[in-house]
Amino acid sequence: MRDQVIVDTGPIVAFINGRDRYHGWTKGQWAEIRPPLLTCEAVVSEACFLVRRFAGAEAVILELLQREILQIPFRLSDCVGQIVWLLKKYADIPMSLADACLVRMAESYEGSLVFTIDKDFTVYRKNKRARIPVILPPDLK
């Protein structure tokens, strides 16, 4: 079992959408992770937006929060300066607000892994220079 996993938007969407390219891979990864998975409100907002066309999918995401499978320990207002710095540093990628929040969370939770299908996390660095350990599909490594 893995612990201290920070989850990005992609795995949430892929878990819910059975037609997603990474649905099977994501389900397998979720089976190996001990809840709760940590995330931020920006990720939840992105995920709800991306699944909005699937009946009941937004409610499923909120149920994951209600059942504490997902938890949101991150407070953007506590990290605005660091988030602005990250957004400027990675403006050429460009980095989303959600990604910046997850990088900041990776800095705050020593030994954590970021569960993502976003290859940009192989470029991002925590604490300015350190690689971010990721759970990433093999075809994206």
* 17: region left, alpha or beta (phi > 0 left; psi from -120 to 50 alpha): beta
The answer on pLDDT for 2 being more than 90 is: no
The single residue listed with the structure tokens 């037609």 is: 19
pLDDT confidence bin for 1, thresholds 50/70/90: low
Q: What is the pLDDT of residue 3?
A: 65
User: What are the pLDDT digits (tens) for 61-82?
Assistant: 999 999 999 999 999 999 999 9
pLDDT of 141 reads 82
User: Residue 32: which CATH number?
Assistant: 3.40.50.1010
Residues paired with residue 95 on neighbouring β-strands, in sequence order: none
Q: What is the mean pLDDT of residues 46-56?
A: 95
Of 2 and 67, more confident: 67
Render pLDDT for 20-41 as a digit per residue (tens, 0 to 9). 999 999 999 999 999 999 999 9
Q: What percent of the chain is predicted at pLDDT more than 90?
A: 96
Per the structure, the count of domains in the chain is 1
Q: E strands, 1-141, where?
A: 5-7, 37-38, 70-71, 113-115, 125-126, 130-131, 134-135
Q: Please report, for residues 40, 51, 126, 127, the alpha-carbon distance to residue 13 in angstroms, rounded to integers and kept in the order given.
A: 15, 7, 25, 28
Q: Which domain holds residue 83?
A: 5-140
Per-residue pLDDT at 6: 98
